[in-house]
């Protein structure tokens, strides 16, 4: 077993789980129904997803504060899963994509498609991208008008090691139910402010996290049914080859280990308390050359070093991930081993000192 896999083993038991109403004391007195997890998922998609059994629509989402790094705009004209037009704009990356059957046209401005931006695109086109991970597994959730959060979770641990490729949760609210949030290692989105659209209830406010859990919000400012789609909007005048399109694959720790080309020498800073040696998992995403371009906190034996580890991850370089001879972006759970030292440790107060501190606060 490599050190990276050992790190996953050590961290496997400490991942945060999302609180569910079903786990709260007194829940049994609350009105609701116990619903099979897969049935609840389909009901939530039927209620909250524009594209699940949906009708043609036009939608516009504005993201963040204009002029900041995490800002942009997503516009979609959608007929069905095989016919749609997508415009994505942000300060460092833009895309215009037309899909019509097996014909695809894609024009990209920028060499890297960031995860935070893709999260908002998925919120419109595929709000539960890992839905297949929850199908055929049994499990149940409680749904009801007074239940604001009930979650379907998956946490596989073969050999005691958390499998980040399948780990995740989908949370629901209400009886319909609404889709409340989606979380995996590489995707996070909260859905709020539902409003009626045809026979659905569609969220108008969306929130994801970047870096050290800083929120970025998207607002659906336009949502309208398209009764007679303009076929000219979906005409593909020039096909874009697969090699010229940007795709991203989520890979395991074992896979990324085999592709490491350059691992930086990390001089870990000192800490004031807690562990001085251990492991952390950082989310990392590369461009098509294998250079890490985006990282975010995930979990650590020493929370005080997470931000430093996140910055260190940006210095990793991997061999390009090739899929059918085509380089792809890659995202992964990057496990880092840290060794630090205690410096200027936090004082341990005696009982008398604690009492004096308490009196001084009065």
Q: How confident is the model at residue 211 (pLDDT cuts 50, 70, 90)?
A: confident
- CA nearest to 70, candidates 219, 216, 285: 216
* 203 and 303 assigned to the same domain: no
In a domain, 348, yes or no: no
Element (H, E) at 161: none
Inform me whether the pLDDT recorded for 14 exceeds 80: no
| Average pLDDT of the residues in 332-352 | 82
In a domain, 269, yes or no: yes
| Average pLDDT of the residues in 253-279 | 95
67 or 13: which leads in pLDDT: 67
Q: End-to-end CA distance of the chain, in Å? A: 55
23 or 239: which leads in pLDDT: 239
Q: What is the CATH number of the domain that holds 145?
A: 2.50.20
| Average pLDDT of the residues in 171-177 | 95
Residue 20 bridge partners (DSSP): none
The four Cα atoms 354, 355, 359, 362 give a dihedral, to 10 degrees, of 70
User: Helices in 194-325 by DSSP H: which ranges?
Assistant: 253-259, 306-313
User: DSSP characters for 91-157?
Assistant: SS-EEEEEEETTEEEEEEESS---HHHHHHHHHHH-S-TTGGGGTTS--EEEE-TT---EEEEE---
Q: What is the pLDDT of residue 283?
A: 95
Q: Quote the Cα angle for 168-314-10, to 5°.
A: 45
Inform me whether the pLDDT recorded for 305 exceeds 60: yes
* 233 and 255 assigned to the same domain: no
User: DSSP characters for 306-359?
Assistant: HHHHHHHHTT-EEPPEEETTEEEEEEEEEEEEEE--B-SPPP---HHHHHHHHH
| Average pLDDT of the residues in 180-200 | 95
* 84 and 174 assigned to the same domain: yes
Q: What is the pLDDT of residue 141?
A: 94
Residues 6+ apart with CB under 8 A from 312: 264, 266, 336
pTM of the model: 0.85
Q: Which domain holds residue 50?
A: 31-240
CB atoms within 10 A of CB 217: 16
Q: How confident is the model at residue 340 (pLDDT cuts 50, 70, 90)?
A: very high
Inform me whether the pLDDT recorded for 15 exceeds 50: no
Q: How confident is the model at residue 63 (pLDDT cuts 50, 70, 90)?
A: very high
Q: How confident is the model at residue 77 (pLDDT cuts 50, 70, 90)?
A: very high
Q: What is the CATH number of the domain that holds 260?
A: 3.30.1150
Number of domains in the chain: 2
Q: What is the DSSP letter of 252?
A: -
* 140 and 181 assigned to the same domain: yes
Please check whether residue 32 is in contact with residue 173, taking contact to mean a CB–CB distance below 8 angstroms: no
Q: What is the pLDDT of residue 9?
A: 38
């Amino acid at each position: 077993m490599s050190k990276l896999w050992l790190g996953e083993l050590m961290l496997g038991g400490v991942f945060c789980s999302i609180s569910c109403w079903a786990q709260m004391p007194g829940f049994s007195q609350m009105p609701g129904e116990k619903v099979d997890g897969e049935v609840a998922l389909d009901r939530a998609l039927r209620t909250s997803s524009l594209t699940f059994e949906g009708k043609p629509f036009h939608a516009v989402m504005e993201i963040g504060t204009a002029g900041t790094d995490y800002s942009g705009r997503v516009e979609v004209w959608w007929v069905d899963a095989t016919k749609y037009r997508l415009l994505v704009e942000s300060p460092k990356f833009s895309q215009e994509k037309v899909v019509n059957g097996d014909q695809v046209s894609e024009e990209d401005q920028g060499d890297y498609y960031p995860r935070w931006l893709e999260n908002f695109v998925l919120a419109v086109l595929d709000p539960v991208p890992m839905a297949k991970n929850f199908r055929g597994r049994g499990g149940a959730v409680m749904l009801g008008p007074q239940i604001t959060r009930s979650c379907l979770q998956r946490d596989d641990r073969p050999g005691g090691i958390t499998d980040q490729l399948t780990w995740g949760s989908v949370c629901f609210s209400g009886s319909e139910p609404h889709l409340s949030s989606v979380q995996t290692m590489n995707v996070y989105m909260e859905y709020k402010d539902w409003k009626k659209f045809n026979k659905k209830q569609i969220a108008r406010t969306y929130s994801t996290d970047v870096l050290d859990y800083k929120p970025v919000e998207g607002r659906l400012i336009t949502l309208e049914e398209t009764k007679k789609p303009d076929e000219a909007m979906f005409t593909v005048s020039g096909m874009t080859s697969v090699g010229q399109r940007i795709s991203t694959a989520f890979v395991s720790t074992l896979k990324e280990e085999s592709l490491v080309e350059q691992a930086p020498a990390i001089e870990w800073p000192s800490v004031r308390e807690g562990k001085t040696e251990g492991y952390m998992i950082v989310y990392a995403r590369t461009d098509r050359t294998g250079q890490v371009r985006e990282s975010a906190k995930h979990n650590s034996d020493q929370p005080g070093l997470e931000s430093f580890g996140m910055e260190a991850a940006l210095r990793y370089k991997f061999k390009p991930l090739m899929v059918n001879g085509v380089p792809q972006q890659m995202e992964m759970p990057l496990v880092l081993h840290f060794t630090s030292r205690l410096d200027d440790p936090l004082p341990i107060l005696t009982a008398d000192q604690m009492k004096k501190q308490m009196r001084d606060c009065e």
